[in-house]
Amino acid sequence: MDTAKLESVARALVQKGKGILAADESSGTIKKRFDSIQVQSTEPNRLYYRRMLFTTPGMEAFISGVILFDETLRQIGPDGVPLCEILAGKGVHPGIKVDKGAKNLAGFPGEKITEGLDGLRERLAEYRDLGARFAKWRSVITIGEGIPSRTCIDGNARGLARYAALCQEAGLVPIVEPEVLMDGGHTIERCEEVTADTLATVFFELHRHRVHLEGILLKPNMVISGKQCTVQAGAAEVAEATLRCFRRSVPAAVPGIVFLSGGQTPLQATENLQAMNALGPSPWQLSFSYGRALQETTLKAWGGEVENSEKAQATFFHRSKCTGAARDGQYNPVMEDEAVSLSRA
């Protein structure tokens, strides 16, 4: 294991002003995104859309890495250039989603276990040869009546640790993603309790599996109210609860935390990240690994029309710029005025 190389890539992914674009939507998820703008989810349309994102002029000022789906890592543009080479040419690290999705946990109604460990060693070697420099594995924890169970948390933590160890063996930086879902009516206090338990278990398993913590990134949920909770915590409360929870659960050896946006709107995800970074220095870099929060407005601006491509790129650039500013505690709501100008263009 080349720990120096792993550490170098991990630090590059969370450098100042930058974060990660999650463009690793599965076939089912990208279809839902395209359905929302009445665009058919065909391979040529997916290629066009993602190539449009990756060729956005100046996106590399705010995006350090992009998580790709298996199809995307293999795709080649009409100019004969693979999409991963477009990214690498901009100094943006290509990454790859390697799990096989969250499946029902047998015997535990309402809970999930992530699959994909079988054959992972061989797949990681292939992905590395195709140009990937880091990987991602997502596990989901659901809050509900009587759940999550100890079995669910332990099983998913063990899967994340085995995946991370295999990644480092293959020379890839593992992004470890234990997501406590915001679905449900739970309070922010309950979310903090479950998130702390989940993180403590994950890092216990990472230690047991001899994972080099300086060569990983953590992709967690923010500590936030459930979607159906009658009391929705504001950005200041989310920031305080999240940092309190993470200071108790995440070792300082981890170079960076790249938050997922979950079910948040683009504005919420930006404001919450800003509030955390505005609280001052943390033991780790606090960055982002956003999918919907960077793409929702971009998809609407594009609408599947070639003539809207420049407008869509401008929208993506603006959202990346705002999020990059929040990553450094420099975001100001006034920056959103630029989005209004774009919508009128």
Measure the CA dihedral 168/105/138/3, to 10°.
Answer: -10
pLDDT digit string, tens, across residues 49-72:
999 999 999 999 999 999 999 999
Q: Which residues contact 306 (CB under 8 A, 6 or more apart)?
A: 48
pLDDT tens per residue across span 183-227: 999 999 999 999 999 999 999 999 999 999 999 999 999 999 999
Q: What is the pLDDT of residues 76-134, one digit of tens each?
A: 999 999 999 999 999 999 999 999 999 999 999 999 999 999 999 999 999 999 999 99
Which are the catalytic amino acids?
177, 219
- The per-residue pLDDT for 338 is 72
**Distance separating alpha carbons of residues 195 and 181, to the nearest angstrom:** 10
Rounded distance, CA 247 to CA 232, Å?
23
C-alpha 81/C-alpha 75 separation (Å) is 9
CA dihedral 109, 114, 117, 121 (to 10 degrees): 180
CA dihedral angle for residue 275, residue 280, residue 282, residue 284, rounded to 10 degrees: 70
Q: Tell me: the pLDDT tens digits for 157-180?
A: 999 999 999 999 999 999 999 999
- How far is residue 182's CA from residue 191's CA, in Å, rounded to a whole number? 8
Q: Please name the residues in contact with 330: beta carbons below 8 A apart, sequence gap of 6 or more.
A: none
Can you give the pLDDT at residue 210? Answer: 98
First to last CA, the chain: 51
Which amino acid appears at position 92 of this protein? V
Q: 218-276 pLDDT, tens per residue?
A: 999 999 999 999 999 999 999 999 999 999 999 999 999 999 998 899 999 999 999 99
User: What are the phi and psi torsion angles at 69 (to 5°)?
Assistant: -90, 160
Q: What is the pTM of this model?
A: 0.95
Q: Which residue, chain included where needed, has tokens 């674009």?
A: 21
Question: What pLDDT was estimated at residue 253?
Answer: 98
pLDDT in tens, 21-51: 999 999 899 999 999 999 999 999 999 999 9
CATH superfamily label, 3-344: Aldolase class I (3.20.20.70)
**Sequence ranges of the domains in the chain:** 3-344
Write the pLDDT tens digit of every residue in 294-344: 999 999 999 999 999 999 999 999 999 999 999 999 999 999 987 545 544
Closest to 70 measured CA to CA, from 122, 117, 25:
25
